[in-house]
Structure 1
């Protein structure tokens, strides 16, 4: 798989709503275009997702099945018991949690698929789902829901999609915060407010580090490797890269991206097309890592590789303050310490 959030085999500024009060206002204003909060004693629950589709239930959903990245983001905001099932990259081959799982405990939750193309409809039906929640990297397409069986899946429960492509990182974080609040989470809980403060501080740290690094001419390439191709990622498409660029990171923009706009495919003979001082490299299990790429002369010849300035990149972040703050902190450290390699 490429660094593109879409599996290859299937195919501004700091937070606009920083602070618990602003998030509370965001949630309460969502009656028409985001969602309404059910009362503790019951009552109707509605949510308009990022496809523009409105979900209306007689009560707040208590049996939610979600893409694991969506589930872990909701968990960071305080949604727990309602999540009865997950799908997507839940565990690694060695049994450890996939980074997408974050801090989400799996005990008591049914895993209905652990890889792309795996979605056990029978297990899903037995869970009696009231709501399906997923990321949406391409308009209208729920991530990791197999296209060939989506009609059967969608017939079993309504869905809520959060746009996680072509928007800056704070936007999906805010949307998951608002969705979590509508599901009963307390955005004023210390766990949430502390994570938000860390995120905001990390964003400002990265802004300062990026400005200093840009002044020294440090250029960064987001990339992914496969046996046959080297992928140069488009910072105008990936939600995290959009935000990094807004904060001042000098990210290289490939000039011949594919139809979905996420990356440019380069043969290994042309891997040096974009000279970068730093490479942030797709760290997901489906992408080749530096140890896997070491045998390729074209990889070894890249200036950033020669300089030892290749760092891990998670192209599909966990869309919560807790999930994103460490990413901003790590990138700030990277650009602060980077030296010219080109």
Structure 2
């Protein structure tokens, strides 16, 4: 299936295979978030667009993946859209979503009138690169929007702020924090979540010292195995920065190297992580060739979790990964 498997189809833990093509958006930016209840507010997003309002926004809407992070910092959104219902999104498992108006539960399908009725002050979405160099294309819609026309309609309701899902997750987490602080989240609120996040990162750094090799995949019965490239996935890239050994699967395609079931045995690692929106570990073990993999024989096949880019969610996911590595051993 090769390049037709989009990065966003895998990343969200909220999109199925082949929902749409590769995502794009615009380039890196800096924050000058400011303002308060009665003062002006501004924020320069990762498209390089500066949004200026008469006062700090209090009614926030947006993409599930993005508003989940704000919620973890205490900002409850007024409306959401994305590729799934909030009830089916792991990022909202412990949250009472009854007060949030879901204006879209299928990718690219947004009830614009329902969104307008919630009177958001600002709308947040993500921007994805189109290649391994992190190129962000302003001629393509932001993640969550079906096309530029729809994005423009939504932008007429309230300004759209884009946070780029590019580079390392550490940078994405930092940018999300900058936006949250511009909305009034304090350092005091962030202190304990940040401490847990840093502690989880140190735990993973220690676990990575074992030298275990890891690969993350999205596998499908008829399409084979799509091996993610760590340099192209923010979370995986951040793990390698902590010392995790993630061999390059090769190939010229962006984000994925697509491999047939017959050839998967050429990609031997100590641990395999499987996408929660593709075949699970048990289903993969039913494939005779995969069952012969060292990681499969050792029972070292674990979930590849996607979580929102904030201290709270990332700490949880990194802790889970570290725990799985701690109970694994070298088998290659």
Which of 235, 240, 255 is the equivalent residue of 1:240?
Answer: 235
* DSSP-derived class of the 2:47 partner: coil
Partner of 1:25: none
Structure 2 distance, partners of 1:53, 1:98, is: 29
List, as ranges, runs of 4+ consecutive aligned residues in structure 1 with deviation greater than 4 Å: none
Contact 1:220 1:251 in 2 (8 A): yes
Structure 1 distance, partners of 2:310, 2:30, is: 20
Which of 23, 30, 33 is the equivalent residue of 1:33?
Answer: 30
Partner of 1:193: 191
* Residues 62-211 of structure 1 aligned to structure 2 (within 5 Å): 62-80=58-76, 83-91=77-85, 96-101=87-92, 103-138=94-129, 139=136, 140=138, 141-147=141-147, 149-165=150-166, 167-189=167-189, 192-211=190-209
Q: Deviations over 1:175-219 (max 9, x none)?
A: 111111111122312xx32211111111112112212x11xxx21
* DSSP-derived class of the 2:42 partner: strand
Partner of 1:10: 20
* Residues 245-284 of structure 1 aligned to structure 2 (within 5 Å): 245-258=240-253, 261-283=254-276
Displacement of 1:324 in angstroms is 0.6
Unaligned runs of at least 5 residues, structure 2: 10-14, 22-28, 130-135
Structure 2 distance, partners of 1:296, 1:2, is: 21
Displacement of 1:256 in angstroms is 0.7
* Residues 213-232 of structure 1 aligned to structure 2 (within 5 Å): 213-214=210-211, 218-227=212-221, 228-232=223-227
Structure 2 distance, partners of 1:65, 1:249, is: 35
TM-score under structure 2 length normalisation: 0.85
Displacement of 1:172 in angstroms is 1.3
Contact 2:46 2:162 in 1 (8 A): yes
Contact 1:43 1:60 in 2 (8 A): yes
Partner of 1:28: none
Structure 1 distance, partners of 2:304, 2:252, is: 19
Contact 1:177 1:187 in 2 (8 A): no
TM-score under structure 1 length normalisation: 0.82
Q: Deviations over 1:82-108 (max 9, x none)?
A: x2101124547xxx4411335443121
